[in-house]
Amino acid sequence: MSVQKPVILTCAQPTGVLTLGNYLGAVKNWATLLDDNTCYFGVVDMHAITVKYTPADLRKNTLSCVAQYIACGLDPERSNIFIQSHIIGHTELAWLLSCITPIGDLQRMTQFKEKAAKLGFKVSEEQTSIANQGARQGSSLNAGLLMYPVLMAADILLYNADSVPVGNDQKQHLELCRDLAQRFNHSYSDTFTIPEPFIPKTGARIMSLQDPQRKMSKSDANQNATLHILDKPDLLRKKIMSSVTDSGNEIVAREDKAGVSNLLQIHTAISGTSTADLEASFIGKGYGDLKKEVADVVIAALEPVQARYNELIQDKSYLESVLKAGATEAQKRAYKTLGKVYRKTGFVERPR
């Protein structure tokens, strides 16, 4: 009898080139899971349209994200790589889950509040109303942004994933997903596996190079704050050398030294050298030395990724073959769950 491997599901949004945060907090670790798990890696294009976007860019970024996944080590022979909109079931399940999701839970989500704030909206402390300052500025808060975590829960539960490897910023969304799975199981009998978040020990929260209190993000207005995995070596070095540290000169990881701590974290996540060993090796050296070494380590780590990406992105037919195979496997599993969910919720089966 064959032993079933645990199922892993995780995704990234194709909103631009992956950042070093995406790489160290997520994709690099996903690549270590291929042999011992059945892996589903999604490119969530439907999540990407919850913010302002250009259709042509979305199309380009989605295919580019697939190539970046593979270049980062997600071997399509040992995993299923798919685009969310190719699979029937994500939005269907999201609708069913939305009917058991309290609106207040969605309004409490940190990421929703941050994105709403960017558009000029403030979710009140009591979480009961959304002040509408944004409309005055000509922007609007779409329902998709609020529903975002429900669609994410559907992504995970549709595959009955045992484990979801993510960076620290997705923890709250994962908790909501687990709540929804439990609520559904309680109302309709056991259906969904309750997924476990899998957050790496180092690299789970790579911070902005310009404001190390905030996480490194694809959409940062200050592009010096973010390292993209496809940035040319010179640009990577320039951004790292101009990163914000502090007025002291001690190279130690400490709460009051967010910039230095972040650089040390980046080093450790790539080189595997412990923080203590790094601190010891930098005694008597300055911030310039630390930055130079971090730049060397980052550039060397990304060089093979960039070389592989440049080959892959030229080969559209290969990328399409990967997506076809990935979608076939993903859809099989998705249909199985969706059928079960439809039966349990009382929907009449379609006559064959």
| Closest distance of CB 93 from ligand TYM, Å | 12
- Number of helices followed by number of strands (H, E) in the chain: 15, 7
| Closest distance of CB 58 from ligand TYM, Å | 13
| Closest distance of CB 77 from ligand TYM, Å | 22
For ligand TYM, the closer CB: 21 or 134: 21
| Closest distance of CB 15 from ligand TYM, Å | 7
- Choice among 215, 239, 257, 291 that is catalytic: 215
Paired residues of 11 in beta bridges = 42
Using Cβ positions, the residue closest to ligand TYM within the complex turns out to be 25
For ligand TYM, the closer CB: 154 or 319: 154
Return residues touching ligand TYM (CB under 6 A): 9-13, 21-22, 25-26, 44, 47, 152, 155-156, 164, 166-167, 169-170, 173, 204-206, 215-216
Separation CA 47–CA 63 (nearest Å): 15
For ligand TYM, the closer CB: 205 or 267: 205
215 is catalytic: yes
The three-class DSSP label of residue 276 is helix
Pairing of strands 196-198, 163-165: parallel
HSE on the CB side for 1, CA within 13 Å?
Answer: 2
115 is catalytic: yes
Question: Helices (DSSP H) in 124-257: which residue ranges?
Answer: 133-136, 143-157, 171-188, 233-241
For residue 325, what are the CA distances in angstroms to 140, 154, 185, 330?
38, 21, 31, 9
- Choice among 218, 239, 257, 291 that is catalytic: 218
For ligand TYM, the closer CB: 70 or 135: 70
Active site residues: 115, 215, 218
